[in-house]
Amino acid sequence: MQLQPTASHFIDGAYVEDTAGTKIDIIYPATGAVIGTVHAATPAIIDQALNSAKAGQKVWAAMTARDRGRILSRAAAMIMERNHELSVLETYDTGKPYQETSVADATSGADALEYFGGLAATLTGEHIPLGEDWVYTVREPLGVCVGIGAWNYPTQIACWKGAPALACGNAMVFKPSETTPMCALKVAEILHEAGVPAGVYNVIQGMGEVGAALVTDPRVDKVSLTGSVPTGKKVYAAAASHMKHVTMELGGKSPLIVFEDADIENAIGGAINGNFYSSGQVCSNGTRVFVHKDIKETFLARLAERLQNAKLGDPLDESVNFGPMVSESQMNIVLGYIEQGKAGGARLICGGERLDMPGFFLAPTVFADVTDDMVIAREEIFGPVMAVLDFEDEAEVIARANDTQFGLSAGVFTKDLSRGHRVIGQLEAGSCFINSYNDAPVEAPFGGVKASGVGRENSKEAIQHYSQVKSVYVRMGDVEAAY
Ligand code: NDP
């Protein structure tokens, strides 16, 4: 199977190739086979993309917001019409099962384009009366925004960054992860088919150094990164030295707290969604599952039983619900953590190994009797590894849940809603859940506190991060001056 993209880059409304850039193989994670290649952007390609974005942004910002919104809404409808084809592509790019990609990737990208398309014409300023004078404000675009994506949700990330950026009148240069280069090209193609002018949404390929070159370029006004905390620190520092706006969507090690009165089947469902969806490659996952000691063994027994229904195999088979790791190197990182879990004395409930089949498949893995100091309880693993920790007391579990550098998400399962709100109110996290886990509708702000990030994606909040306010003082009378 070959899925060779038309060309490596999409610049100024058209596919562009430059084979002088480093060759990047596109590997299908379910088989390990090379299914295509792209080339990293050369300095000439980076230059071309930024010049085109600079020019395209002026054309785009001069259009009415309503017209911009209509184009984004059209792109959303086109994505929904092509959902099957885009979902298959997402599966080839990431290895995630079609059962997931057909409902969670292109569709959530379309949600963002439709939502921000609808918001575009509502982005107005304020009138502030000051006696006979007044101030009015104008919400203006930032200019050229750079989006840098992780590999777990390539279509969604391209849209979650592109939709609010474009709704506010910015242009974007998007660099996907080198591991998943294909989906963002399709997003660019569809946006332009829908009527986005040339240069407004560009995609260029490459490794970290292409991202780094974009971040420090003087033509760039804002950088939005989805990636790990170490990369985030580098990108944030580089952007700060040029005083650029940033959004940082980074990693996590989020707590999911299951109280003794929780509906146990729902809590297990939340823990499954929050650890094994996309084979655990989700930033907001609740990978530290604190289970009250009174229900721990029941929880573990039933969890192990339900995990037997995970069906691993060909991700394009619609009955398969568990795919491979995105790459051999990510699989090896996760296997390393599994070994540390075993060596550290955690009790392996299930999984814990690579499966004897082609591709990069790991079995869903659960460790119990995990303690706070174990590496598997402290570091982001980004794979299908759940750590179950015991607790007895509400105040104790809150303190332990917050004892981490991360703060992306948190969840609480309890039938006592007062306790649910009280506990969530004390957890240091940006995206929280009561009796649920990992829902991410476009209407809800998404993002982290502490080392997990800066800024918010989705919802009206994202508008603050892709626009700036100009205030204009208007004097009606004479100007008084001292001399
Ligand atoms: P990385 O941090 O390794 O990479 C993220 C992106 O940044 C890639 O495109 C990468 O390029 C690029 N990059 C690397 N170095 C630099 C640099 N110095 N300057 C500019 N760009 C650079 O993350 P992964 O791709 O491995 O993704 C997994 C991480 O992403 C996890 O920590 C996960 O939690 C986080 N994540 C966060 C989300 C959120 O919304 N909070 C959502 C999804 C994932 P390349 O890799 O191609 O070399």
Best substitution site from 226, 385, 406, 442 to test ligand 1's pocket, by max atoms within 8 Å of Cβ? 226
Phi then psi dihedrals of residue 410, to 5 deg? -165, 150
pTM over 0.95: yes
DSSP 360: S
Q: Do residues 45 and 9 make contact, with C-beta atoms less than 8 angstroms apart?
A: yes
- pLDDT in the model for residue 174: 99
Q: Catalytic site residue 283?
A: yes
DSSP 282: -
- pLDDT in the model for residue 3: 87
Q: What are 380-422's pLDDT values in tens digits?
A: 999 999 999 999 999 999 999 999 999 999 999 999 999 999 9
Cα–Cα separations (whole angstroms), residue 445 to 160, 281, 299, 431: 11, 20, 31, 7
Task: Quote the ligand 1 centre to 206 CA distance (angstroms).
Answer: 12
Which position among 100, 178, 249, 380 bears the catalytic label? Answer: 249
> CA angle, 204 as apex, 329 and 116 as ends, to 5°?
100
Q: Catalytic site residue 161?
A: yes
- pLDDT in the model for residue 28: 98
DSSP 309: T
Map residue 183 onto helix, strand or coil. Answer: helix
Stretches where the chain sits below pLDDT 50 are: none
Which of these, 413, 447, 434, 408, lies nearest to 290 by C-alpha position? 413
DSSP of 56-93, one letter per residue? HHHHHHHS-HHHHHHHHHHHHHHHHHTHHHHHHHHHHH
Amino acid code (one letter) for 23: K
Q: Do residues 417 and 427 make contact, with C-beta atoms less than 8 angstroms apart?
A: no
Instruction: State how far the Cα of 417 lies from the Cα of 420, in Å rounded to an integer.
Output: 5
Which position among 222, 283, 296, 380 bears the catalytic label? Answer: 283
Q: Catalytic site residue 249?
A: yes
**What are 90's two structure tokens?**
């997402």
CA dihedral for 46, 52, 55, 56, sign (positive or negative): negative
- pLDDT in the model for residue 1: 63
**207 close to ligand 1 (CB < 6 Angstrom):** yes
Q: Do residues 267 and 302 make contact, with C-beta atoms less than 8 angstroms apart?
A: no
